[in-house]
Amino acid sequence: MHPCTHDAAASRSELAPLADALLSMDNPISGLTRLNTRREHPDSPENLLRRLGRGEIGLPHDAFHTLQPWRAAAHLRELLMDCGVLPAIDKRVCLFERWLVDHLAGITNPRQAQLVRRFATWEVLPRLRTSADRRALTPSSTRYAADRVKHATVFLRRLDDHGRDLATCGQADIDLWHAEHNEHDRKSVRAFLLRCQNTKLSRRFRLPAAQIQRAAPLAQRERLDMLGRVLTDETPPLRSRVAALIVLLHAQPLSRIVHLTVDDVIHDDRHVLLRLGDPPTPVPTAVAELLLYWIANRDNMNTATNRDSRRLFPGRRAGQPMHPDALSAQVNELGVPAVASRVAAIRQHVRELPAPVVADALGYHHKTTTRLQTDTGTPWSRYAPGDHSGRTAEAVRSSPGPAADIRSRRCPRPDPPM
């Protein structure tokens, strides 16, 4: 037993599940990798574990917000959640809360710090937590949340530099901000300005309408060429090939793909289905072979913290999937632009099937697929209303679209890893 683990288990009985989880691993040291460097330093990761065992670190989540080194603290927090000592919270909510503590500490003006704290507490964090309750957060979700807080801070600082505050801020100040900043900056500060008006911290403003930017889709021929190349070229890593196929065929964002589990792949004697919505979506034979082979040979399964992972794309940290940015980079290395490919795929699906069928099968909102179907010039007003869920899977299976184009294509089974 690692001495720190022994100390922790002996000192605090509530930490026994952590010790048991580490000792049950084939290689407990690998579970403590991030807690086993810079020994004897006052802020060393090893000292962090000792302090936890001595009771110097409490077990509410907010006790971890200011701990250093922060990466070791985050890893320890994930281990505690994974073994049930701490209640499970989305990892990205944890990271945002920690970032927020540091950000607020860096605001030197007490009044500005108070305003930003209120905005983050009553506007940004509740939305983030609500989103996390519905579905695992993506890196872009927390980046956008942080951007809203940062731009609120920058806006207040700018007012102060010009001898103004929220009470004296006028329409001219709003117009100048919008004129000098790009669309992302304008969008990021919008929620803060609206809240200031609604809570009567400022006067009423006219805010320019937000602009919606959409990625240009690939041509259908390009997309089908990519599907064929990814299926037949055995040179790239299997992980990136499988992820790219799910993007190209099923129009899924990588931020959602990383949260799929092996239980979402349904395999019977005749078909392989992928649970993206209700009902599950059929997977063409050639893609199904590759998908099943990947499940049997997934990466990152030999780490102590993830040996029993059910993730389709397991990461290296306890209970966590692969980071979507990392998977996106690997897919892009295949020459498959993830966003453009997904847009092309969903647009092709709504050309071939009614929008509600596509929405149900692929996990999209009905309004999204209806708008896309209207944009493509194929409105579904002729679609008969009623419960079609029993026929959705068969409709997708018999669709003459991309699934049919590759259904009969066979790909060589990859050689087993050496």
Q: Domain of 266: which CATH number?
A: 1.10.443.10
Quote the pLDDT of residue 71. 76
Q: What are phi and psi of 371, to 5 degrees?
A: -65, -45
Angle 8-14-16 from CA coordinates, rounded to 5° = 60
User: How do 265-267 and 272-274 pair as beta strands?
Assistant: antiparallel
Q: Using CA atoms in the order 331, 334, 340, 342, what is the torsion angle rounded to 10 degrees?
A: -50
**Residue burial 44-72, b: 16+ Cβ < 10 Å; e: rest:** bbbbbbbebbeeebeeebeebbebebeeb
- Please check whether residue 210 lies inside any domain of the structure: no
Phi-psi region of 163 (alpha: psi -120 to 50; beta: other; left: phi over 0): left
Is there a single domain that holds both residue 65 and residue 99? no
Helices (H), 274-337: 285-296, 324-333
Q: What are phi and psi of 196, to 5 degrees?
A: -60, -40
Which of the listed residues 84, 115, 135 is the one where a domain comes to its end?
A: 84
Whole-angstrom distance, CA of residue 83 vs CA of residue 87: 9
- Pick out the chain residues at pLDDT < 50: 1-3, 5-6, 9-10, 34, 37, 39-42, 387-418
Task: Give the number of domains in the chain.
Answer: 3
140 and 70 assigned to the same domain = no
* 171 shares a domain with 310: no
Looking at this protein, which amino acid is placed at residue 194?
Answer: L
- What's the confidence (pLDDT) of residue 272? 94
Of 84, 104, 119, which closes a domain? Answer: 84
Same-domain pairing of 262 and 376? yes
Cα angle for residues 411, 357, 241 (degrees, 5° grid): 25
What is the C-alpha to C-alpha distance for residues 101 and 123, in angstroms, rounded to an integer? 16
Q: Is residue 213 part of a domain?
A: no
On whether both 153 and 286 belong to a single domain, the answer is: no
By the 8 A CB rule, do 356 and 369 touch? Answer: yes
Task: Answer yes or no: do 47 and 103 share one domain.
Answer: no
Q: What is the pLDDT of residue 252?
A: 95
Same domain flag for 346 and 374: yes
pTM of the model: 0.56
Q: Which domain holds residue 342?
A: 220-407
3-state secondary structure of 58: coil
What are the φ/ψ torsions at residue 282 (nearest 5 degrees)? -65, 145
> CB of 132 within 8 A of CB of 92?
yes
Q: Report if residue 212 sits inside a domain.
A: no
76/186 same-domain check: no
Cα dist. 298→169, 231, 312, 355 in Å? 56, 18, 8, 34
